[in-house]
Amino acid sequence: MNTKIEQSPKAQKVVERMGQKLNRQMAGSLLACVHCGMCTDSCHYVLANPGDVTYAPAYKADRIRKIFKRHFDWTGRVVPKWAGAATVNTDEDLEELKDIVFGKCTNCRRCTINCPMGVDYATFNRMARGLLVSVGVMPEGVAVVSKDQWEIGNQMGVLKEDYLDTLEWMEEELQEELDDPTVKIPVDVPNCDVVYSINPREVKYDPRSIADAAKIFHAAGESWTMPSEGWDMTNFGLFSGDDELGGSVAGRLFESVVELEGKTLVISECGHGFRSTRCEGPNWAKMDVPFVMESSVNTMLRYIKEGRIKVDKTKNPEPVTFHDSCNNARSCGLFEEPRELLNLVCMDFREMYPNRSENYCCTGGGGAMSMAEYTPNRLKSGIVKANQLKETEADYVVTSCHNCVDGLSDVIKHYELGMKVTQLVNLVANALVIEEKVAVPVEAPVAPEAVPAPAEEVPVPVAASKERLPLEGRRILVADDEPDQLEYLSMVLEDNGATIYQASTGDEVLEMARKEKPDVLTLDLHMPGRDVGEVFELLRKDPELEDLKICIITGKPELRALIYERSVRPPEGYVDKPVDEKKLLTNVRKVLEVVHQES
């Protein structure tokens, strides 16, 4: 029968490439489903959309299965209708498939453990993502992040100089905190026992985690280093289904450890980073990796068990709960270590239910945080996580995954749970007892000579500290609706001496500005609630806020008209995102100079 349907070139390629990608495991999963429906209620999308069958794992899987059957299974080729086989013909078919595989599944694999037939839907969902990516059909966020990881080497486009500057900055912070100039964040030191790799999110939004890890390595007396190249342990190939990208990213990291002749690669707390580096990376990169790889969770636990660091759990008295990242827990079996560690460093650890392999996704898995078009649906599905979190009545939710930090922060904000998100590295660093280590310096006998010096040198540190705190005495209102950005901007400004107030909606900006009368407002142009342009105009017209200086910080320059076309005094400063420490401080100081010149 010559019933060949005309397929678009992209659809043809997708089918062809499916044939190349199929392996025994995928084919087994594609064939095994008996449509019993037992997986249905395991999916957080289903629970948040009751009655909508299009979210059921088996329904979503069938969108891919029917193509497989039509082209690669004999029943589907011979009696397609009877076998439920069909193909993709048009680019619209591909777009529809895109919305299912990227927008309706986070590849969390919870349905897999609830399937009596062992169907691993996430495996072939990832394959389908990869097929679409190979013909250029993907959410814009996936394209942007993949491009950054291909071209710049990390998925947040962090430049090498910014990475190295941040390490230097954190080293200074740590030396100051521990009052110990010997504390280092070593870079490219060969032959170390540990090479430490991180998530670029730490450089961009959470540098404190780098300092906390360094504090722990220092306290443990570890021989460690960070690489200047190939330092990103995340791998967007896991999300996009692009094995080539996966191999290139993992290979870069492995090569940097080989070059440094490191003995153990320690992977900071990140679920997909851990899975893609330790479990999938060697296969993608086709490399026989000659060193050990472990999660920093295991490293920290080992240090405590070996007596290399001492911790005092009374330093973390608040009630905390733990969120198992899907990749760490369900896919890599990291269940008990984080709990053991939590019980050692926290006074009040309480489980959320369900947990371990049965835990629900944070909603941000599978690269969901980068796909803005699916955010409303993602947040709707977050009701499941929100209920889990609420029931714990904990103040903090701890997670060993940077992706989960973002996913959970969004859910907490959306459902107004008032909880905070943190990681084990922060809790361990906070619980550290390091007095003895700090007092170790061999120069102890020299102390008598050194005693008078500090007394006479009192003005020097004061001057130095003034140098470091250019914003001392300044009151700054930071307004941004992205929790990461809000925290990052606040932290940088606070570390430089400012008193910080925060707002994440237009109405909150108005309220806080009127109540606190800050010196400077850093204003994001895209926030929920009242229109930011209107907020800006109301602030400008408020006689009590005449002295308020405003610095716009935006990732959406197209919204500038909101502000600049108004017939009120324009803002004193303007900064494009992404913002780093230097850029932020320079601009805020410039804005403050305007104040000085005018007064």
CB count in 10 Å sphere of residue 529: 15
Asked if 171 and 180 touch (Cβ cutoff 8 Å), the reply is no
- Residue 119 in contact with ligand SF4, rule: CB under 6 A: yes
Asked if 519 and 550 touch (Cβ cutoff 8 Å), the reply is no
- Residue 38 in contact with ligand SF4, rule: CB under 6 A: yes
**Which strand (E) or helix (H) includes residue 150?**
helix 140-151
Nearest to 77 by CA among 88, 64, 68: 68
CA distance 380 to 369: 14
CB of 238 to ligand SF4, least distance (A): 13
Choosing from 26, 88, 122, 498, the residue that interacts with ligand SF4 (CB under 6 A) is 122
What tokens does 526 get?
A: 């895209």
- Residue 109 in contact with ligand SF4, rule: CB under 6 A: yes
- Residue 45 in contact with ligand SF4, rule: CB under 6 A: yes
The number of CA neighbours under 13 Å toward the Cβ of 434 is: 22
CA distance 193 to 214: 14
CB of 384 to ligand SF4, least distance (A): 11
- Residue 97 in contact with ligand SF4, rule: CB under 6 A: no
CB of 332 to ligand SF4, least distance (A): 16
- Residue 121 in contact with ligand SF4, rule: CB under 6 A: yes
Q: Which amino acid belongs to residue 199?
A: N
CB of 354 to ligand SF4, least distance (A): 13
Nearest to 427 by CA among 300, 332, 548: 300
Query: C-alpha distances in angstroms, 420 versus 169, 175, 320?
Result: 25, 27, 9
Q: For ligand SF4, which is the closer residue by CB, 404 or 562? A: 404
Helix 9-21, helix 57-72: angle, nearest 10: 90
Asked if 199 and 232 touch (Cβ cutoff 8 Å), the reply is yes
- Stretch binding ligand SF4 (CB under 6 A), from 39-47, 85-93, 141-149, 494-502: 39-47
- Stretch binding ligand SF4 (CB under 6 A), from 112-120, 311-319, 334-342, 586-594: 112-120
Q: For ligand SF4, which is the closer residue by CB, 34 or 292? A: 34
- Residue 14 in contact with ligand SF4, rule: CB under 6 A: no
Q: For ligand SF4, which is the closer residue by CB, 119 or 285? A: 119
- Residue 113 in contact with ligand SF4, rule: CB under 6 A: no
Question: Do you know the residue count of the chain?
Answer: 599
- Stretch binding ligand SF4 (CB under 6 A), from 100-108, 192-200, 449-457, 461-469: 100-108
- Stretch binding ligand SF4 (CB under 6 A), from 107-115, 311-319, 382-390, 581-589: 107-115
Question: Which 15-34 residues touch ligand SF4, going by CB under 6 A?
Answer: 33-34
Q: For ligand SF4, which is the closer residue by CB, 35 or 466? A: 35
- Residue 369 in contact with ligand SF4, rule: CB under 6 A: no
Q: For ligand SF4, which is the closer residue by CB, 174 or 368? A: 368
Choosing from 64, 86, 111, 404, the residue that interacts with ligand SF4 (CB under 6 A) is 111
What tokens does 473 get?
A: 């005495």
What contacts 236, CB < 8 A, 6 or more positions away?
142, 145, 146, 149, 155, 242, 245, 249, 367
- Residue 57 in contact with ligand SF4, rule: CB under 6 A: yes
Question: Which 505-564 residues touch ligand SF4, going by CB under 6 A?
Answer: none
Helix (H, G, I), strand (E, B) or coil at 187: strand
Asked if 227 and 197 touch (Cβ cutoff 8 Å), the reply is yes
Asked if 40 and 46 touch (Cβ cutoff 8 Å), the reply is yes
Choosing from 86, 97, 105, 213, the residue that interacts with ligand SF4 (CB under 6 A) is 105
Q: For ligand SF4, which is the closer residue by CB, 33 or 178? A: 33
Asked if 552 and 563 touch (Cβ cutoff 8 Å), the reply is yes
Q: For ligand SF4, which is the closer residue by CB, 89 or 387? A: 387
- Residue 568 in contact with ligand SF4, rule: CB under 6 A: no
Q: Which amino acid belongs to residue 274?
A: F
CA distance 224 to 188: 9
Note the residues at the interface with ligand SF4 (CB under 6 A). Answer: 33-39, 42-43, 45, 57-58, 60, 105-111, 115, 117, 119, 121-122
